[in-house]
Chain A
């Protein structure tokens, strides 16, 4: 039975909720767009396929690669590779900051976390970029296809040692994580080496299926080495109904074996449920109650299987459901470091914030990347193959994002960007947002209470109590008198380019934004 569609009213609140969960941050224009489109058309737009973004380039010269040139086909240069990886990260940040009204980047990042692969171990930026292209192109499509492509993905071949998995010395690393993390998941240990969903011997059998593929770093493709492939029959345990996979010798036969293996793994209801739970924890909530399991996870798993493991119909059903907009779940997601950093930057026109040329933008984006890393998210360098802890470490899950260290980093970041000055690049003065951009959010700018309500509505996903609004309103005038703000506002409107009329407005708006972004409420969405 499909999920019950959402039938409540469609207001700014609902539009904001949808935008916050599918994009990085919620710009006023995105919320307005969702509001005017309505739920169905908004979700249609978010889920519509987009073109392929242009390739990353060298933002500064890196060895033999000149500034502005592409490098994804260039010969490997050990010394410069980490520079190329930095270009790749910059390119990713740029895609996120300039994202359209599309779920693509958040969903691609979901897959990158699901099929977690760390550059620190792959050591080839071209591989990392190519894997990301695969994930982005297939982000709305079949997870089964993505899992299949990971068998011969260059970065994955290296990361999980598929490239040394041979008939004479099988390496189980990829097969093990494919089962434990990427697909069916490990159940309770029912007996020696029996994890309910699969057994230790299944790991070995699947590892045999995946033998013979190496990463060719000159041709930049996976190459099949016939003599290293295990051509024997692979017999699975009773957990897979003792099914067998007939061995082959040629490359196309080996691919057929992979296809059979994936058919067997994805034939299991458990696999669909495991993947739906991952999606749910990425877009909705980490708490999965028994009720959620039976009314949301199982029905969506049904859809996932019926639609041949395509993600798009599942997300459509989820994002338009009553459950997604359930009042009990509003604001339950702790903002991720990427939402915190990229979301805040996106609210304030990155083009104004960052230096004009690509070289300095690259350095500035490096700084953003480092900021996110200090908050526990080092993009394309997950802590291990299980990906970010916030999505698998029970019972804390998303709460892993906020601890005594990272909360300080988060508040410092927003304080710096809003007011104290954020050091983007040593060549420049510290950057601060153009706080006057806030004035476009205001419906009654002379009324300080209304100013706070509008700013809070733009920055927060949940509502504040009147006492909190009052406390914030006091920040808008030095003497606490609401008329002071109105007088200052009038003076600035009359002479917008005079420093003495401009300064009080700027000072007060920065103080307000700093206070709102330092509230616990700002860190949930």
Chain B
């Protein structure tokens, strides 16, 4: 047993967990035998990312019903009525607008991971979006996207030598007028944008040399334009052909333009069904920056949050149904993400301000169904600054998708994400034991005593052996301290010295390669 700076060592007695729910997640109508493996070969698998722009309010999306009275206290103006929430479990409800997604959940096609974020929240949309897309630490900037770095390892040399027989199509497609920063590679852009794949126009002289008498900067820009021209020349025709080869089959897509997200996903379904080999598709939904009039809509908020969630739910449901009817359901894994969640407490404008961690949705036939992670804790006396601290690092999600869905070797995933992140179970049969299953055993436990803590406290952990990372977050969702340790298995005792910590509510986060447990405690000096 090794320890790091802020932890001392001593033994103490066990006490009961503070707010963990021991619940097995496999309580769904699926056969464990059939579920053991995802049948689709790695090279045929597709990832669809749904970006919810503006910062989705996680607490009004996945509602912690076990703390309903606290929830109501801090969010009275925007709270969802307890009986209106669509109950997924006794303690967890979805926003009433999300009936379609609730049905996906019941059918084992939806997974929720709670409290996904990064250690020190950044409240700027732009910075936080960059962090999510580049998979950078919050205090560094990176000029390439996580998907771009994955794709350039998967398709070495791109764009030189592409398209070719094994990859005749764009590596990734963003449905819209610009390709996501997340698709930027370190040398070249690895994705293409199409808003209407059924047409294409090219520049006329893509291959010709650039005039050498031109200024250096003009040459740089011309090179960019021509490389886009070459991309179009090489890839637009197959995309167009694919889009014309298949027709959507689901009757659940709404008519007309009432749901822009559904329209984007409709194109994605057609392209995949049309045989396009692209690995990643990105679609977007705007409008989640609900600073005011969140529940009703009003000046500054054209769409109430519920309307956005209804569109999301409708779009994902129709898409999933379409994939089923098109016979490609097993090839596709979907995921939603947003640059941040929102504050715990509603602001004075019947809205919510920029926050920290939030739930993510994963959809498809190949997801491990159920909910991973704990309900966020809502103190009745929460302050306007309070945030949901992260339980799972968003890069753990990326890492798991890279290794478990795209079958990337662990070492390569480490290169893409710059270092090791623990796995979380997203893909069915990917053999990561979830923390809930462990707790149901219960082989995993954490406790802190005494409470509140004034100088030192004892942490007791019961966990399998392996490296663990222990972090402490304050109530604004910010990581104050972190340490790593090697655990030999069984009962693990540590002394927590809080003299360097401020008074207030804290969250202890213990991350192990097989899961994450969180535990609240109070520092009072």
Contact = CB atoms under 8 A, between A and B. Distances in A.
Contacts of A331: 214-215, 217-218, 221
Interface centre among A166, A330, A408 (most CB of B within 10 A): A408
Interface residues of A, number: 75
B224 to A, nearest CB: 5
B218 A161 contact: no
A290 interface: no
A411 B349 contact: no
A389 B177 contact: no
A154 to B, nearest CB: 10
A407 B206 CA distance: 12
A402 interface: yes
B232 A408 contact: yes
Nearest to A386: B126
Contacts of A450: none
Contacts of A332: 215, 217-218, 220-221
Nearest to A328: B215
A331 B347 CA distance: 48
A518 B225 CA distance: 11
A395 B181 CA distance: 10
Contacts of B124: 180, 186
B523 interface: no
Contacts of A122: 299-300
A412 B199 contact: yes
Interface string A196-214: 0000000000000000000
A463 B211 contact: yes
Contacts of A170: 348
A468 B205 contact: yes
Contacts of B372: none
Given A122-B299, A186-B124, A376-B178, A408 B291 contact: no
Contact of A399 (B192, B224, B301): B224
Nearest to B235: A404
Q: Which of B170, B216, B349 has the most CB of A within 10 A?
A: B349
Contact of A465 (B53, B211, B348): B211
Nearest to A119: B302
Contacts of B177: 374-376, 403, 405-406, 409
A406 B347 CA distance: 39
Interface in A387-428: 389, 392-396, 398-400, 402-409, 411-412, 415
Nearest to B385: A200
Interface string B158-197: 0000000000001000001111010010000100111100
Nearest to B232: A404
Contacts of B299: 122-124, 158, 163, 215
A275 to B, nearest CB: 18
Contacts of A65: none
A524 B192 CA distance: 21
B123 to A, nearest CB: 8
A78 to B, nearest CB: 11
B292 interface: yes
Nearest to A375: B177
Interface in B222-239: 222, 224-226, 228-229, 231-232, 235-236
Nearest to A168: B348
Pairs A-B, 5 closest by C-beta atoms: A169-B348, A332-B217, A331-B218, A164-B349, A405-B193
Given A384-B53, A521-B211, 16 more contacts: A163-B299, A171-B353, A173-B291, A287-B217, A374-B177, A384-B125, A384-B289, A386-B126, A396-B184, A399-B221, A402-B225, A404-B170, A408-B201, A408-B236, A462-B214, A519-B203
13 contacts: A124-B299, A160-B300, A166-B348, A169-B347, A171-B353, A329-B215, A331-B221, A392-B126, A403-B177, A405-B178, A405-B192, A411-B202, A463-B211
Interface of A: 120-124, 158-161, 163-164, 166, 168-173, 176, 180, 186, 189, 192, 215, 285, 287, 326-334, 374-376, 384-386, 389, 392-396, 398-400, 402-409, 411-412, 415, 462-465, 467-468, 471, 515, 518-521, 523-524
